[in-house]
Structure 1
């Protein structure tokens, strides 16, 4: 009764109601499905194109920045540091993405954890322009599939040159993991 005398009956009723609401909210939170409590990465897919227009990463994720990766040698009999040694754009993109996948695995992540990708491409000497269709063919083997539907944001740039004169492509990514 001392409590009621100190704050009054009306305030005591409001206090009890607020405590009751707090207990109800806590019970609802604790009994929610496991996935409802987790903050997940949210991807906003582009219409009719296999990239995300935006990706939201909530607090609590570790960010992984991978350096640019080019292709491994595809033809060991070809002259080193030449296009013949590394192959066409599609072959190089597939190789670079394979290297990225391996690096992510070493960091306990997967291609589905990639949230941002920059693709640097030089003009194919045969056509005089970057081979965007070759990029897309290899890219779509890893992203936007039934097995791996998570799409990163992505930009593709034509650049004057890459560090290795045999490379047509260099790819850098940012990934996140919980």
Structure 2
């Protein structure tokens, strides 16, 4: 009887809760995982790079203003777009296990990427009480993206349970 109850409990528990292991960075509260283990049998879903949605149709399409403005605002738009794409696939931000972030140097910051602005928007989606799951993540400054008005592009990979 005990084996039956254990099996019934495992089947009733969402696969992600029982299978994906997220290792925190030791002695750190920085909101990324040091490592994520995804066991065999779960489906990896890779989303193409997402860029900011058009925010101002009056502004030139090659201006950061057209895409939300600064890095923080553009990141917020990109993350909302990613969240909507995940939702269409019956996934959530909590299912994201890997993220690659490409930041263009902000002209208003002397050509340096605005990591703090990126982090402000990122922290609204990851490491919160409502969504504590953290992905592994890389952030890099790139020379440019396809549209010179874009300051941010983000790729994510998520895991779908059984």
Q: TM-score, normalised by structure 2?
A: 0.88
Instruction: Specify the alignment match of 2:45 in structure 1.
Output: 64
5+ long unaligned stretches in structure 1: 1-26
Give, in whole Å, the separation in 2 of the partners of 1:74 and 1:107: 25
| Structure number with bigger Rg | 1
Alignment of 1:114 with 2:96, yes or no, is yes
How far does the alpha carbon of each residue in 1:125-163 deviate from its partner, in whole angstroms, 9 at most, with x for none? 111200000000000000001111100000000011111
Q: How many residues are treated as equivalent by the alignment?
A: 152
Over aligned residue pairs, what C-alpha RMSD do you find?
1.6
Q: 1:45 aligns with which of 18, 21, 24?
A: 24
Partner of residue 172, structure 1: 155
SS at match of 1:148: coil
How far apart, CA to CA, are the structure 2 residues paired with 1:48 and 1:57? Answer: 22
Among 13, 21, 29, the residue aligned to 2:3:
29
Partners of 1:160 and 1:29 in 2: how far apart?
57
Say which SS state the counterpart of residue 75 (structure 1) adopts. coil
Per-residue deviation, 1:30: 1.9
Task: Pick the aligned partner of 2:107 from 116, 120, 125.
Answer: 125
Provide, for residues 59-83 of structure 1, a one-character-per-residue CA deviation record: whole Å limited to 9, x for no partner: 2211101000110112222111211
CA distance in 2, matches of 1:136, 1:177: 26
Which segment is superposed worse, 147-156 or 32-41?
Answer: 32-41
Shift of 1:101: 0.6
Higher helix share: 1
Tell me the CA shift for residue 28 of structure 1.
3.6
The answer for unaligned runs of 5 or more in structure 2 is none
Distance 1:29 1:169 in 2: 50
Q: Alpha-carbon deviation of 1:100?
A: 0.5
Match of 1:89 in 2: 71
Calculate the TM-score normalised by the size of structure 1: 0.81
